[in-house]
Structure 1
Amino acid sequence: MKVDRADLTRAEEVGLLQSGQAEALWSFLSMQPQTTAQFRFAHILYYLGGMIAIGAMSLFMTVGYQTWGPVSLTVFAGAYGFLAWWIGVWFLNAKQLPIPAGILFTLTIVLVPLAVYGIEAALGHWESGGALYSDYHRYIDWRWLLLELATLAAAAVMLWRYRLPFMTMPVAVTLWYMSMDVAAWIAFGVENDAADWTYYDGLWNLRKLVSLGFGLVMLIIALRIDLTTRHDKRDFAFWLYLFGLLAFWGALSCMDSGSQLGKFLYCLLNLGLIFISAVLARRAFAVFGGLGVAGYLGYLSWSVFRDSLSFAFALSLIGLAVVFAGVWWNKHGEALGKKWRRQLSPQLAELIESRT
């Protein structure tokens, strides 16, 4: 729940606060450091600047690699990462600004695979079918695995030391990338040319299964982190939920159901994601679940019941039923959900109550 100055004034007017306490309390709250990201203009500038810096490294370091060689790549990445870390520590300790500090620490983590790539390139690891570092974000190759493991190790150390939520973003992205690179490695081993892997249907099917499994594991880890940090206002699980859903739902949506029953089960799974969104108070589940349900209804409209007037009326009735279900849930859902969550898991109940 968000509290603004007007809320405190009304509390003072009805006698919950004594005269003058509203102003003193508001001054105290305003002086507290902002630890959670919101859509404020300063926060937008923080993240915009961070993303520009992160993106620039891939472009600049690739040009530097072509100009000065792989050793310079590692040196520049290390120096730039140290500078980002040093400024982040200054923001955190001297200025009490955890959000820009977290962005700079994230930049430090993102530079780790770049430094490892430079070392590998200097040792001749990329001489056969060598890809540039700019291909890291679009090219599937088992040789990226060492970069990904180094990134995860660096992120683990940084999170253990500083515990800022945005640093989980490179962890989530790296795990997502790893799901695809591991699939290629399992399918064809280290002796095959990576350039040929993307042309095999078997790899595509395996990649979907591995991505599905990775996404599900990532969601379970995110839930565990959510429960463990339920008393902390900082959201450490957001990025893991987002990329876990991207891996799980993306793989699920790319699979061929093979029958109407399979497509209907796909719709039910997406409805389940919407239900999980209500239980966990996580909008990301509702977004992906809503896209899946909309895709299924679009399939019915254009492929199964095309030009069917009765289906249009039936779909309208379903929509109205959903609206009335929302009205009923708005009235009774909070009490029922609280009771159900308490019976299922007291920790889950604490998590949701603290968030809502």
Structure 2
Amino acid sequence: MTDIEICHSSCHSRRMTTNPNPSPPSPSSEPAPRRRLGTTGPAVFPLGLGCMGMSALYGESDRAESLATVHAALDAGVTLLDTGDFYGMGHNELLINEALRTAPAAAREKALTSVKFGALRTVEGGFTGYDGRPAAVKNFLAYSLQRLGRDHIDIYRIARVDPDVPIEETVGAIAEAVEAGHVRHIGLSEVGADTLRRAASVAPIADLQIEYSLISRGIEDRILPTARELGIGITAYGVLSRGLISGHFGRDRALAPGDFRGMSPRFQGDNLDRNLDLVDALRKVAGGKGVSVAQTAIAWVLSRGEDIVPLVGARRRDRLAEALGAMEVTLDAADLAAIEEAVPAGAAAGERYPSAQMAHLDSEH
């Protein structure tokens, strides 16, 4: 079994030509924009950096470029670094440790860590389930603190609900870690509206991390309204649907060995062709604004509300720079209507995960 966690301020509009190798914006003397994660969570830069791809599930990665990308993100003002203790079997947390140790002190002090836990793995790297027992929560936390080289984690969350453990018990254990000073805020991942409500009855929840993009809009029916009712923010992963709607994924692209997208329904056969037809339609909208497809897709997520913080899974500095450029894209009513026409809700072909992983998503039940 495999599993994946992947990872809009009011800005001035501009027309821009996409540079294939742009550099991240230089730090500005102006205060960086912020979005607060719910009513109890921290204020963060409007985009977070999802670090999973630097260690797992997309084939080989370049360690030096990964570190440089984290540093470039911090230099640009990004504050939220998202990881999971099971990304690369701990590799990702160690990578973030090194990136923060070698970053300027000012950037390091502003960095916030968001960590998912709970996945159980085999020696070969397969996934066998999730463990949300209170004792397991404390055990996972101890190892993460050691690997990250920090005395606390800013947002801690179970990656998937353990069906054998009431969410109240898992959240209660994290709440004890908050009281002890080892965790600052409690988060959740891929839970449905009812579970969200149950969890919030135990302790304040800062944010829900969940997939949200132009082609993954399931949260709009019940989950997003419930989160807003409860004062819980959203950190949106998969905003480019694992590169599918980035504008960089071609119809004849061969995936590298170890790239999990080879098993993703949306990247298979006719599904891929139909989904890339949507991207072609979106490309026309983006071209009319002089911006890239990826920037348009990210700007759309940013436009959904100030309580939503997209996570961009950039593994390279040029992709990071492109993503940051989305903050300068303003979408007016006409733009949003054109995007809706190009990519209507529910138009994607294929589920967002293989069936075995869909079964683990409380958000889908």
Higher helix share: 1
Higher strand share: 2
Global fold match (TM > 0.5): no
Q: Please tell me the TM-score bracket, short chain as reference.
A: under 0.3
Using structure 1 for the length normalisation, give the TM-score. 0.27
| Bigger Rg, structure 1 or 2 | 1
Using structure 2 for the length normalisation, give the TM-score. 0.27
Q: Which has the higher contact order (CA 8 A, sep 6+)?
A: 2
